[in-house]
Amino acid sequence: MDTRATRRLPTRGWVGLALVALAWPANWFLPGVRTHLLFFPLWLGYVLALDGWIERRDGSSPWTRSRRGFVALFALSVPLWWAFEAANAVLANWEYVGGEFGDVEYALLCSLSFSTVVPAVLVSAEWARGFAWIERRGPGPRLVPTPAACVASFAFGLALLACTLYWPRTCYPFLWISGVFLLEPLTVWRGRPALTGALARGDWRPWLALWTGVLACGFCWELWNSRSLPKWIYHIPPSALPLVNAPKLFEMPLAGYLGYLPFGLVVYQWKELWLGEPELLARSAASGGQQGARDSRPREFASE
C-alpha cells in the first residue's frame, strides 16, 4: 500500500517553515542592518522545510539517511564558497554593500552564511529529483570516464581557470565552468564519480535534478537578497555589453542565471569528493521504503 498520502510533515519541516515565515519578513522589513543576523536562520529554514518535504514524499531524506552527513554538508559549504570569494577578489563580479564589520566579525558572519550554500543546493536537487518529468526521463547518450578523458578534463579545467584569472574582465564566466572539469576527475580518482558514473549508464536525471534544484535555489537567493541589508550587487564588465542592457530578475541579469547551472554540478561534485553520505538524488528510498533508508549507500538511480 502506498503510504505517501498518510505521511505527515516531520517536526523539522514545520520548524523550517516557521523559520522562513519569521526570518523572511524580518529580513525585508526591519529597519537598519539586519541580514547578517537573519541570513542563516532564513536559509536553515529553507533547508529543513525542503528536507521534511522530501521525507514526507519519499519516506527518506538526507537527514534521515545520515544526520552526521547532513550536518557535514554545512561544514563543507564554507571552504567551497570562500574559494569563490577568493576568485572574486580578482574578478570583482559581485560586492557586498550596506554594512561595516571588522575583519574577524566579517569572516565569522560570512562563514555562517556561506555554510548554507551546499545543503540548500543539494536538498533542492533531491526535491527536484522526485518530479515525475525527471523520473520518467529515458536513457540518453552514454559518456564513459576513461583515464585519458579524466586527464584531459582536468587539464581543460586548469586552462579555463588560468584564463579566468589572467583575463578576468573577458573570461569571468569560465569561473563557474572550470570547476566542473576540475572536480569530476578528482571524484573519479577517488572511486565515486559524481556525474560521469550516471552518464556511463546514459542516466541524465541527476543533471536535470541539479539544474532544476539550483535554479529554484538561485531564484530564492536573488529574491531574498533584493531587499536585504547588507546585500550583494553585481558588476558586469564592459566586455559583456549585451548583459548590461539585458533585463534583470532582481539584481541578476537574466543571462546570469545560466551560471547557476554549472554551479549546481560543482556543488554536487564537491560533496562527493569529500563526503560519501548522505546519499543524494536517491530514489530507491521512495520505491523501497525503509530498507532504502537503512542502506548505507542506496542505489542512486533505477537500474536499466
pLDDT confidence of residue 281: 74
Give the pLDDT mean for 152-176. Answer: 94
Q: Is residue 302 part of a domain?
A: no
Q: Is residue 80 part of a domain?
A: yes
Q: Is residue 284 part of a domain?
A: yes
Residue type, 92: A
Give SS3 for 102. coil
Report the candidate in 61, 80, 62 with the shortest Cα–Cα distance to residue 71: 62
Total tally of structural domains belonging to the chain: 1
Cα dihedral: 133, 138, 140, 142 (round 10): 120
Cell of 203: 542516466
Which of 10-19, 201-210, 220-229 bottoms out in mean pLDDT, i.e. has the lowest? Answer: 201-210
Tell me how far apart the alpha carbons of residues 280 and 271 are, in angstroms, rounded to a whole number.
10
Give the pLDDT mean for 124-151. Answer: 92
Question: pLDDT band at residue 300, thresholds of 50, 70 and 90?
Answer: very low
Tens of pLDDT, residues 100-115: 899 999 999 999 999 9
pLDDT confidence of residue 192: 87
Question: pLDDT band at residue 145, thresholds of 50, 70 and 90?
Answer: confident
Q: Is residue 191 part of a domain?
A: yes
pLDDT confidence of residue 283: 56
Q: Is residue 146 part of a domain?
A: yes
Q: Is residue 168 part of a domain?
A: yes
pLDDT confidence of residue 2: 52
167 near 198, Cβ under 8 Å?
no
- Residue with grid cell 541589508, as numbered in its chain: 229
Question: pLDDT band at residue 276, thresholds of 50, 70 and 90?
Answer: confident
Residue 250: pLDDT over 90: yes
Q: Is residue 92 part of a domain?
A: yes
Q: Which residue has the higher pLDDT, 97 or 192?
A: 97
Question: pLDDT band at residue 137, thresholds of 50, 70 and 90?
Answer: confident
Residue 191's CB: how many other CB atoms inside 10 A? 7
List the domain range (segments joined by +) for residue 168.
7-291
Tens of pLDDT, residues 40-98: 999 999 999 999 999 999 999 999 999 999 999 999 999 999 999 999 999 999 999 99
Cα dihedral: 8, 40, 263, 136 (round 10): 10
Q: Is residue 301 part of a domain?
A: no
